[in-house]
Amino acid sequence: MNIMGIVNVTPNSFSDGGKFLDPRAAIDHGRELIAAGATILDIGGESTRPGAEPVAAQEEWGRIADVVAQLSGEVPVSVDTYHASTARRAVEAGAAIVNDVTGGQGDPDMFSTVAELGCDYVLQHGRGNARTMNGLASYDDIVGEVRSELLASRDAAVAAGIKAESIILDPGLGFAKVGEQDWEVLRGLGAFLGEGHRVLVGHSRKRFLANVAVDDERDVATATISAFIADSVWAVRVHNVAATATAINVAHMLKGN
């Protein structure tokens, strides 16, 4: 399984906003994550936390351009963006993956751009945008509905020319999901594993962990989930790579892997 380390080149990300806004600080942080065990880095220039305001594509690219160009020569890089122009620039600069939290809904040119680029594409489930998604978190059967909506987006992506084998599914924890709903999706993760696609889970430090994290130790909760699902998914997306790598190593030792 891959550990995707998060590099937020933003002033307002929910967990570490502003810490790595300077490109040199972001590059150094990326290298620290690689040393800790990250096999992929996910680099983003816009916060998509609930309530966050959008950032213009030009400003987004200005934040991450040097970071993508430098780190993509050291490890596979994913660019966290819903802007097709940023996706194109990042892949041309060396990125191997486009991670789109809107599942193609944020930019009508995204699917055709990814199809042309031929890169891997993380297709995430969500509803609405950062300002509206919490109000759209209403489901009768959350696992079934998230699965069907995600596969409908998958079908649209394939119809637009993206190769099925290039698509990585992400059930979108925290995106139009609140509290217990995220736990339900995690418990039903098997529903997303039999579609012939790799699966990415992004649970790191998210709000739903607060009810199990003593003294708000969300990195411990994150690492524990990572260890539980390590044998099932293609990758986990985390802030604290060392904690997750340690938890996975312990699980493997106990299983005799």
Q: pLDDT of 61-113, one tens digit each?
A: 999 999 999 999 999 999 999 999 999 999 999 999 999 999 999 999 999 99
Residue 99 CB-density burial (10 A; 0-12 exposed, 13-18 middle, 19+ buried): buried
Average pLDDT of the chain? 95
Residue 255 appears among annotated catalytic residues? no
Taking the CB of residue 46, how many other CB atoms lie within 10 A of it?
A: 26
Q: Which one of the listed residues 206, 207, 218, 255 is annotated catalytic?
A: 206
Yes or no: say if 205 and 187 are a contact pair by the CB < 8 Å rule: no
Q: Could you read off the pLDDT of 112-168 as tens digits, one per residue?
A: 999 999 999 999 999 998 889 999 999 999 999 999 999 999 999 999 999 999 999
The structure's pTM equals 0.95
pLDDT at residue 16 above 70? no
Q: Which one of the listed residues 63, 89, 177, 237 is annotated catalytic?
A: 237
What 251-257 contacts at long range (C-beta under 8 Å, 24+ apart), as own/partner pairs, is 251/227
Residue 206 appears among annotated catalytic residues? yes
